[in-house]
C-alpha cells in the first residue's frame, strides 16, 4: 500500500470513529437512574472520540509531506477537530 493509500485509510478510520461515536450517542438507551442516568451515552461518545483523537496524530504525521495540497490540508482536519474538542472541554470546566 502506498503512503497516500495509508493516509486515505487513516482519514477513513478517523471519520468512521467520529461517526460511530455520534451514532452510539444517539441510539444507545440511557441506563441507571437519578443523576447518573444517561452517563453510558456520554461514555460511549467520549470513548469513540478518544479513538478518533488517537487516529488524528498519525493522520497528521502522514499528511505533512503530502505533495497534493488538498490531501495535506485534509490530513490536518482531525488534529484541528481534536484540538477544538479539547478546548471545548476545558472551556466547559472553567465555565462550571
pLDDT-flagged residues of the chain (< 70): none
Q: What is the pLDDT of residue 1?
A: 80
Q: What is the pLDDT of residue 34?
A: 81
Cell for 86?
A: 479539547
pTM of the model: 0.85
Q: What is the pLDDT of residue 64?
A: 87
Query: Could you please report the per-residue DSSP string of 18-85?
Result: HHHHHHHHHHSPP-S-GGGTTHHHHHHHHHHHHHHHHHHHHHHHHHTT-SSHHHHHHHHHHHHHHHHH
From CA 78, how far away is CA 70, in angstroms rounded? 14
Amino acid at each position: 500500500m502506498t503512503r497516500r493509500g495509508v493516509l486515505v485509510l487513516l482519514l477513513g478510520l478517523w471519520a468512521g470513529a467520529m461517526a460511530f461515536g455520534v451514532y452510539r450517542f444517539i441510539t444507545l438507551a440511557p441506563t441507571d437512574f437519578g443523576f447518573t442516568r444517561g452517563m453510558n451515552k456520554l461514555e460511549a461518545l467520549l470513548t469513540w472520540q478518544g479513538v478518533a483523537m488517537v487516529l488524528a496524530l498519525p493522520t497528521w504525521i502522514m499528511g505533512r509531506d503530502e505533495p497534493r495540497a488538498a490531501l495535506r490540508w485534509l490530513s490536518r482536519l482531525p488534529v484541528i477537530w481534536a484540538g477544538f474538542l479539547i478546548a471545548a472541554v476545558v472551556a466547559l470546566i472553567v465555565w462550571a
